[in-house]
Structure 1
Amino acid sequence: MGLKSVIVDAWSYLNYKPVYADPVRGMPHRRAFPEANASWVPPADERRLAAYKMLAAYDSNQVGEIAQILGGDAAREQREFGDPSMFIETLTAHVLGREQHIVVPGADQATSDGQTGKAAAERVQTLLQDWAESELLPMRMQQCERKAVSLGDGVYRMAWDPAKRRATVRVTDPGFYFPVLPEDGDAGDYPDRVHFAWELEEDTARGLKKRLRRITYELDWIRPATVAGLDESGRRAVRAMPTPLPSAEGGDEPAAPVLTPGDRMDENGGISRQYAWNDEPSYVTCYLTDATWLLEDLTGPADVDTLPLDKATFATRSDGEVLDHLDLLIDFIPVVHVPNTVPPAEEHWGQPSIAKVLQVFDELAASDTDAARASATTGLPMVAISGADTTRNQEQAVGPGMLWRLGENGKLTAIDTSPALRELRDHRHDLKDRASNVARLPAVAMGTMDPSKVPSGYALQLSLGPLDSLIGGMRLARDHKYALLLKFAQRLHIAGQHPDWTGVAPLPARMVFGPYTPTDKAAVLEQVGTAVTAGILSLETGLRMLVEAGVPIEDAEKEAQLIQSRQFEQARALADATGSTDAVGDFLGLDINPDPEPPVVQLPPAQGQPDDPEKDPAQGTRGNE
């Protein structure tokens, strides 16, 4: 009967657009989204890729170009003044805060392990901070978070760079990200296979046809070692099994397979490996494949996960290793997917921050278009003339110094359209308020509110309530992801045998985001001072609160040591309580312990005295007399 099915999924907020949800198929329009309709794209990802393109169009003021495909040239004339981009930039800045800090628990305070645990945490924290500075991690986070806020998803891809001697982090567009999610499990779990795929345009100057490139990370059982070689035709570089070692017993026994140094084979044929960050041996490793296909060779029904490897050309690394199931010697996939929001149960994808207000943005664009047309008639008013002298048969024009000759009972009427323009502007303000309310982004957070109109600080705090809950949920979705990224960074440095990481055990680390709202530093300072003095807050915790409030403290630990070195009254109380000069010296950071045996004082002989101390000087004096 031609009934249309209603699609409800993570991207159904775009169903109201005919170009996105075709009235017949309910799928994205092929002319508008040719990338999503490529033969190698799985059907389950078509709507996701089309949604990314539509959201990017909102961000770059190009919605009219897509609407033109179905709406004609009239849709192309739509005004777009960057309101979605302003929302995206504001939310990106708020979710990241003014600054970001890498924190390893126990680095600023003594732990249950005593000074040993504190020193280990301090070392890991310092190494991670130095790595983040070298890798420009704050800039990478800005890139990824803008993708996450605008598209709903961001992706980090990590690798060990032998030339730089450090782990590298790169941000990848989520449109290239194709995880193989379990069909009968929780889609929120970490996938065992991840693809990054994109098409390469034809290059006639270099004689290259249109191609498809796919980079695959896959967790699988550890297999015998492989080496770079050629296939049977001798034209393609592949990885092949090396010549097996002869059996120790000789005879008809099969040759033992060649193992990677450090691997062990058990009696059942399973190969295990002891990783530096695991307590028990593991039977799993991560394989990397970097392959390229000619699109003309992909004629069968194959998607990105089932491409024929016999038609692929594998890339070769700078050290000569062929990237055909190359063993990376790690037991994790170095990819971190960052959703913008907490995904629904058993879902994998996040939702962009502007998803719920796209229709409001469309209304804003229509209002801006109408206002632009109305302003033209207001700036150049329409004039009606009756009884004009038409004997000269010339066209009348409106301009300064113009003169019209009117006949008897002639009349000139100017049509004032400014009230309509005023109404359109008021309507636009109402739409912006509606968008702010729906997006939970109040005017004070957008910077559009006059500070003099805020009645009190308490009223300001209440107005920020929706933003607090929004940023809290967004940061909750990111906490585990950045902890995972910092864990991968530690493991890659250990696997790469970096000298600074020798003997270092990976520790849990967190990315702490700074404040995103104006902070009353004086109030925080008073609160911390009162709590620390009363003994209900430690000095280290108080300093951390001051750092988060924006007080310029470079190193909280050194600042705590400087403060303690001047607290002589507390040192005196400590001495009275413990009677230990060692404890007082450690508290002040001074060496105040006396020597166990004071040295014997050697006085020089007085003038006129004999050098022999046993001789009585009194007798010598009397003899002289």
Structure 2
Amino acid sequence: MGLRKLITDVWSWLDYKPVMADPRRPGRNAWSELTSSWVPDEDLRRLSAYRLLAAYDSNQAGQVAAITGDDSAGGERRELGDASKLIDTALGYLLGSEQTIIVPGAEQAAGEQPEGHAEAAAVQERLRAWAEKELLPLRLQQAERAAILLGDSVYSLAWDPAKGRVLLRTWDPGLYFAEWPDDEQDSGEFPTRVHLAWEIPEDVRRGTKAKLRRITYELAPIAPASRPATTKDGARFREPVAGDDGVALLVSGDVQDPATGVITRTYPWAAGRPSPYTCYLTDAEWDLDDLKHSDLLYDLPLHKATFRARSDGEVLDRLDLQVDFIPLIHITNNIPHSGDHWGKPTLATVLQALDELSATDTDASAASATTGSPIIGLAGARLPIDRNTGQPLPVKIRAGTVWQLNDGGRMDVLDTSAQLAELRSRVDHLLDRIAANSRITAAGLGTLDPTALPSGYALQLALGPLDSLVGGMRLARAHKYVIMLRMVQRLHQAGQVQGWPAGESAPAHLAWGPHTPTDRAAVLEEVVKGVGAGVLSVETGIRLLQDAGYPIDDAQREIERIQARAFDAAARLADATGDNGAVRKFLRMPPAESEIALPKLPRDDT
């Protein structure tokens, strides 16, 4: 491989590939755009890994190998979609049957009316309505497939004044560049400056040059108010707003300390806790011809930039977003090691096995050619002669072909069926090895013979590694989706949308559906017994039924329907309390015009 030193990092599992040894080395660069002058050296290995993994997903790993010097791995290599199948299978198990936004407290029985129930139910309803408009299940599919394939994925949240709601978008992690403080060692912390950058190719037909676009989010101290402006040559920028006395004006609601000059702001979700920070958004473009080799992504010259404008006319030159967080969510496929910030793809541990499988498929394809159309040796045969040249004509095997053999003549057939059978056996062995080492298991991939399992308990044991894999993947994402839903609430509050009042954000989270088939009859029997015996609440029972796959869209409404017909429970409530109002409230009936106390019946303890 030509490695001069051993590199141990989150992408070390790819070091057996020549393209990872030195991405800038001439002749081994499979994608020239990665070596652009603006790409930092510390990001080259990550971007090279992304491109290589994408090649495996699209059955182009052989082409990449050919570009990097392995001529034998070009057009003859067989790639039959095994990598893509692994990714799609892992994605299906991760997402489960459904994904639901849950706000704790929103599904309590309405009859109990715990404190905060109405607010939690309202937040849950608003979040679900937003998710439906923003096609959240579709965005989940896009982002999570990228995370499983590449190890990382990125969401962005942006306030759209025209639509009056937060927009959710997914991004290729190859466009994501984050800047962490030099002393930052905790992978759970968040960067203070993030860039989304990519090249815009030259368009000869339109007469536009190749450009570099960079979107930057930065947490910084709050500055005075600014407004859009234009220079004499038409360039857009933002300028400070000053009063008649020349003093810089503040954004409405900001407060400046006269002693220190620090500007603070009280955000709607943090009443009584002023913050000196806000998030600034910059969206700019550079002509690639104007950039020098020393101009890296993190410190591009702003005096050569052209700033873009938002739909409402706001120039995106350090635009104050009126929030104290960066509205980007970086998803990792697994829990990173201490000090790391990037995830590990599902293919990482089995990539060499996929290469072995591809090589075996290639050999099997060659062996099947000689098995289906065998090589035949003739001795003492009278072959047809070309009358013009006098040379024997090529012999072709067809059905019904007859050859005349001389005395002592013979025909020998090369039989390669044994080698083909051995190669097929090796394919099965490699598939079992990939299933085991990826922890998706043969049962999860659907290659396990159902008759090989004596019982359902044996199947449960066979799916144990898959359960552990899915549990770890969901744990790595759980906190990030909590943060996303919190940001959605706060961006709506910052946009002053009706129905999103000021106050602390509700702790919403994303609930995943079951990833393996569930015995619904057994779950239903368990819920009936548990709720009937009083050891399970109705809310818990409904949640269990939802997890088992029963078509319950709204747990709260389902509880209300159940209680509206629970006449036996209402009779017991009347016997216990003698309160007619409580009984009518339990049955979801309107209050009676005249309350008649129900007699409390004596208990029969005999």
TM-score (norm 2): 0.93
What stretches of structure 1 of length at least 5 have no aligned partner?
A: 247-254, 599-625
Equivalent residue number for residue 17 of structure 2: 17
For this pair of structures, how many residues does the alignment match? Answer: 585
CA distance in 2, matches of 1:28, 1:89: 35
Aligned ranges for residues 62-77 of structure 1 at < 5 Å? 62-76=60-74, 77=76
Aligned partners of 2:51 and 2:159: how far apart in 1?
31
> Are the counterparts in 1 of residues 212 and 286 from structure 2 also a CA contact under 8 Å?
yes
| Partner SS, residue 20 of structure 1 | helix
Query: Aligned to 2:116, what secondary structure does the other structure show?
Result: helix
For residue 501 of structure 1, report the CA deviation from its aligned partner.
1.7
3-state SS in 2 of match to 1:484: helix
How many angstroms does 1:265 deviate by? 1.0
Q: 1:274 is matched with which residue: 244, 263, 266? A: 266
Q: Which moved more, 1:446-455 or 1:218-227?
A: 446-455
- Distance across 2 between alignment mates of 1:84 and 1:306: 38
* Preserved contact between residue 124 and residue 506 of structure 1 (Cα < 8 Å): no
Partner of 1:91: 90
Aligned to 2:604: none
From 339, 346, 371, the counterpart of 2:364: 371
Q: Residue 388 of structure 1 aligns with which residue?
A: 381
Show the counterpart of 2:249.
Answer: 258
Aligned to 1:52: 50
SS in 1 for 2:33: coil
Indicate the residue corresponding to 1:595 in structure 2.
594
The residue matched to 2:479 in structure 1 has which SS? helix
Cα deviations by residue, 1:20-59 (Å, 9 ceiling, x for unpaired): 224xx89796531323222111111000000000000000
* Corresponding residue number in structure 2 for 1:620: none
Partner of 1:202: 202
- Aligned sequence identity (%): 50
What is the aligned partner in structure 2 of residue 465 from structure 1?
464
Distance 1:523 1:35 in 2: 56
SS at match of 2:565: coil
Deviations 1:487-519 (A, max 9, x none): 111111111111122456520100000001011
Conserved? CA contact 1:288–1:324, under 8 Å: yes
| Secondary structure class of the residue paired with 1:321 | coil
Cα deviation, residue 97, structure 1 = 0.6
Q: Output aligned runs, 1:99-118, within 5 Å.
A: 99-109=98-108, 114-118=113-117
CA distances 1:283-304 after superposition (whole Å, capped 9, x unpaired): 1111000111111111141211
Q: Distance in 2 between matches of 1:592 and 1:97?
A: 43
Matches within 5 A, 1:221-236: 221-231=221-231, 234-236=233-235
Change (3 A) 1:289 1:28: farther
Q: Give 1:194 deviation, angstroms.
A: 0.3
Q: Which moved more, 1:578-587 or 1:478-487?
A: 578-587
Q: Distance in 2 between matches of 1:115 and 1:28?
A: 68
SS in 1 for 2:34: coil
Deviation at 1:3, TM superposition (A): 7.6
* Residue type of the alignment partner of 2:579: S
- Structure 2 distance, partners of 1:451, 1:362, is 28
Q: Is the 8 A contact 1:238 1:322 kept in 2?
A: yes
Alignment map for 1:150-161 (pairs within 5 Å): 150-161=149-160
CA distances 1:95-145 after superposition (whole Å, capped 9, x unpaired): 01110000000111269x954400000000000001101110110000000
Greater shift, 216-225 or 179-188, is seen at 179-188
Q: Following the alignment from structure 1 to structure 2, what is the Cα–Cα distance between the partners of residues 153 and 28?
A: 28
Question: Counterparts of 1:427 and 1:12 in 2: how far apart (Å)?
Answer: 27
The alpha-carbon deviation at position 596 of structure 1 amounts to 5.3
**Residue pair 1:108, 1:540 contacting (<8 A) in 2 also:** yes
Which residue of 324, 337, 356 corresponds with 1:344?
Answer: 337
Which residue of 2 is the match for residue 334 of structure 1? 327
Note if contact 2:102-2:124 (Cα within 8 Å) is conserved in structure 1: yes
- The amino acid of 1:205's aligned partner reads R
SS at match of 1:35: helix
Q: 8 Å contact 1:36–1:47 — kept in the other structure? A: no
Contact 1:20 1:29 in 2 (8 A): no
Q: Distance in 2 between matches of 1:92 and 1:115?
A: 38
Aligned-residue offset at 1:448: 2.5
Deviations 1:502-559 (A, max 9, x none): 4565201000000010110001111111111121110111001101100111221122
Shift of residue 445, structure 1, vs aligned partner: 1.3
**For 1:64 and 1:468, how far apart are their aligned partners in 2?**
33
Q: Is the 8 A contact 1:178 1:196 kept in 2?
A: yes
**Structure of larger gyration radius:** 1
Q: 4-13 or 400-409: which moved more?
A: 400-409
Q: Aligned-pair distance for 1:306? A: 0.5
State the secondary structure of the residue aligned to 2:84.
helix
CA distance in 2, matches of 1:481, 1:27: 37
Q: How do residues 108-147 of structure 1 correspond to structure 2 at under 5 angstroms?
A: 108-109=107-108, 114-147=113-146
Secondary structure of the residue aligned to 2:199 is strand
Which residue pairs with 2:478 in the alignment?
Answer: 479
Q: Distance in 2 between matches of 1:303 and 1:588?
A: 68
What is the distance in 1 between the residues matched to 2:198 and 2:380?
69
Match of 2:388 in 1: none
Which residue is 1:520 aligned to? 519
Rounded to whole Å, the distance in 2 between the matches of 1:546 and 1:227 is 54
Residue pair 2:109, 2:560 contacting (<8 A) in 1 also: no
For 1:31, the equivalent position in structure 2 comes to: 29
Instruction: Assess if the C-alpha contact under 8 Å between 1:28 and 1:47 holds in 2.
Output: no
Distance in structure 2 (CA, Å) of the matches to 1:300 and 1:71: 28
Contact 2:581 2:595 (C-alpha < 8 Å) held by counterparts: no
Give the counterpart letter for 2:148 in structure 1: V
What pairs with 1:564-579 in structure 2 (closer than 5 Å)? 564-579=563-578
Aligned to 2:306: 313
Unaligned runs of 5+ in 2: 386-390, 598-606
Deviation at 1:316, TM superposition (A): 1.6
Paired letter, 1:417: T
> Counterpart of 1:36 in 2: which secondary structure?
helix
Contact conserved, 1:445 with 1:464, CA < 8 A, in 2? yes
Q: Within 5 Å, which residues of 2 pair with 1:500-579?
A: 500-502=499-501, 505-579=504-578
